[in-house]
Structure 1
Amino acid sequence: MNIENTTGRMGVGVISAGKVGTALGSALRAAGHTVVGAHAASEASRERLDAMLPGVPALDVETIVERAELVILAVPDAELAGLVSGLAKLGTWQAGQIVVHTAARFGVEVLAPAAQAGALTLAIHPAMEFTGTSLDVARLAECRFAVSAPTVLQPIGLALVAEMGGEGVVINSADRPLYDAALAHAVAGIQLAAAGAARVLGIVTGGQLEGDSDAVARPDAPVPGDLLRSFAQSALERGLAGRAEVPDDAAASRHLEALTTLAAESAEVTDVAQAHAAILDVIGRAAQKPDAECG
């Protein structure tokens, strides 16, 4: 999706200088906007600000909002509502100012106090993990962003995403909790399955992965981790296409028996056998549905 810039050059304020805020601020600056300031309360955030947005001053929140035409609110979910309402009570929000939050779980409703002051409010969530380094800025070019906003403001949100190199996907504001839950479901399932498989492979390969919870994620992971990554990628693609491969009864029994036998010898993988049994049950029941698209 190619969107022409309809936002113009703006002064951008970043609250706060965490992993997400500095990456988005850096991407917007690269697109020609000016980052007028960022909130950096801790030593770590000040160091990150210097590294990711050199020359950008660390300012207090009120000053940032007063100076910025575009305010990026990249703060923990639990702090967002209080921050927005607190600034509204101080009369800091400005009519015509663009206010964006980056939380997955919230739509624009959480920004209502700013909207009541005349601000243009958008919820824009980048669906990726951030490292807090310059690598994040490059990865934004491959990122999808969930954009929630009133219909008239959606083009602004999509344009901002395009300027950062990403692609926007419009999500109804009321559906943001479901969007957040879907991402959490995927992350939890992938992490659980990968961690369990890594422990089993660690045992059968002489303990190369045993006790190393980061092994699968590291670029220099041992061979079992590489095997998991390459094998799981095709499974991920099938899952994204809406297909869950259903093993035949013999294969399912064989796999479960192998894991159960190992669990009897190594209690640390008991949960892996139990989880696999539960997964087989869910896949089997899904396959029995008339509209199931499996295998």
Structure 2
Amino acid sequence: MDQQRSGASQRPASRLAVGVVSAGRVGSVVGAALTRAGHRVVAASAVSDASRERAARHLPGAEILAPPDVAAAADLLLIAVPDDAIAALAASLPVRPGQLWVHTSGALGAEVLRPARDAGALTVALAPAMTFTGRDEDLQRLEGISWAVTGEAEARFVGEALALEMGGEPEHVDEADRARYHAALVYAANHVTTLVNDAADQLRAIGVANPERLMSPLVSASLDNALRHGDAALTGPVSRGDAGTVARHLEALAGTGIAETYRVLARRTAERALESGRLKSSDAEGLLEVLARSTEEDR
């Protein structure tokens, strides 16, 4: 494997002319990361004012062109458009045999680029395990992250080499597993944002002036503990089987819009606590009754 990866890395090491379709939050930053790795972004597509501003900031040497012209100018075509648009785009752009086509979707594998592969391109799915907000720190956050790599053997090795060049760690994900892989990341990252903002709304509603400051140490410690210690990091009333407290929580949250979410997550937390031995079956009985009762009442 090391010899194969070393051999594959020779292709990116030749310094490629990169085309970016399009210069959105992801494409502009990954294009900048490729520039930092020594490649040269020669062209990008950018329709909106925000995309043009990102291209000017992150891809200053790139000529703004229509997508077919970007593809024609590139040795490495970076496709960073919404997932549902990739297939149609891949079928519409010109292909030069020997080109490298890369898309950044976490949910899709390399198969969506089959029209380019059938026309002689190397195709690889190369998705950064990172969230992009459009802020300046996005580029710095790429250092050391994982990149999900999917493709046939030669293309996959080239994708791994690109990830390493950008300061990341390649993680091979099979074509059939991309949706599950992406679902796991969305479940963790996107839902954390929703949960934190929902909690901030509840605190704000009872008069807490700066809920973000109040929650920051607690939420940061909880995330750190979860990543370090797994289920051993579970604390709180559910892991203790404290049914009375959970019942009071559900009563207080009734009518807020998040009571059902709280109930579902409490049930899932109880399941994990039971499976890991953090919660005894005898202590869980009352808790599970409260959670089941709230479900019946909601009906």
Look up the equivalent residue of 1:245 and give its one-letter code: L
Q: Are the counterparts in 1 of residues 250 and 263 from structure 2 also a CA contact under 8 Å?
A: no
**2:138 aligned with 1:136:** yes
**2:74 aligned with 1:37:** no
**2:234 aligned with 1:245:** yes
Matches within 5 A, 1:176-215: 176-204=178-206, 206-208=207-209
Q: Which has the higher helix share?
A: 2
Find the counterpart in structure 1 of residue 250 from structure 2: 260
**2:86 aligned with 1:59:** no
Matches within 5 A, 1:107-126: 107-126=109-128
Q: Are the counterparts in 2 of residues 259 and 272 from structure 1 also a CA contact under 8 Å?
A: no
**2:282 aligned with 1:280:** no
CA RMSD of aligned residues (A): 2.5
Matches within 5 A, 1:30-109: 30-87=36-93, 92-109=94-111
Deviations along 1:107-158, whole A, 9 cap, x unmatched? 0110000000110000011111112244222111032111111123222111
Identity across the alignment (%): 35
| TM-score (norm: length of structure 1) | 0.82
Q: Quick one: structure 1 residues 285 and 131, their matched pair in 2 at CA, closer, same or farther if it must change by over 3 Å? A: closer
Range that drifts further, 105-114 or 142-151: 142-151
Look up the equivalent residue of 1:293 and give its one-letter code: S
Look up the equivalent residue of 2:169 and give its one-letter code: E
Mapped partners of 1:249, 1:294: distance in 2: 10
Q: Which runs of 5+ in 1 are unaligned?
A: 210-214, 216-220
Mapped partners of 1:12, 1:248: distance in 2: 51
Count of residues in correspondence between the two structures:
270
**2:19 aligned with 1:13:** yes
Mapped partners of 1:50, 1:224: distance in 2: 38
Q: Are the counterparts in 2 of residues 102 and 126 from structure 1 also a CA contact under 8 Å?
A: yes
1:188: Cα distance to partner?
4.7
Q: Quick one: structure 1 residues 36 and 228, their matched pair in 2 at CA, closer, same or farther if it must change by over 3 Å? A: same
1:242: Cα distance to partner?
5.6
Q: Quick one: structure 1 residues 248 and 53, their matched pair in 2 at CA, closer, same or farther if it must change by over 3 Å? A: closer
**2:270 aligned with 1:293:** no
Q: Are the counterparts in 2 of residues 97 and 119 from structure 1 also a CA contact under 8 Å?
A: yes
Q: Quick one: structure 1 residues 294 and 76, their matched pair in 2 at CA, closer, same or farther if it must change by over 3 Å? A: farther
Mapped partners of 1:166, 1:135: distance in 2: 16
Q: Quick one: structure 1 residues 251 and 68, their matched pair in 2 at CA, closer, same or farther if it must change by over 3 Å? A: same
Q: Quick one: structure 1 residues 287 and 138, their matched pair in 2 at CA, closer, same or farther if it must change by over 3 Å? A: closer
| TM-score (norm: length of structure 2) | 0.81
SS at match of 2:130: coil
1:105: Cα distance to partner?
1.2
Find the counterpart in structure 1 of residue 160 from structure 2: 158
Look up the equivalent residue of 2:208 and give its one-letter code: G
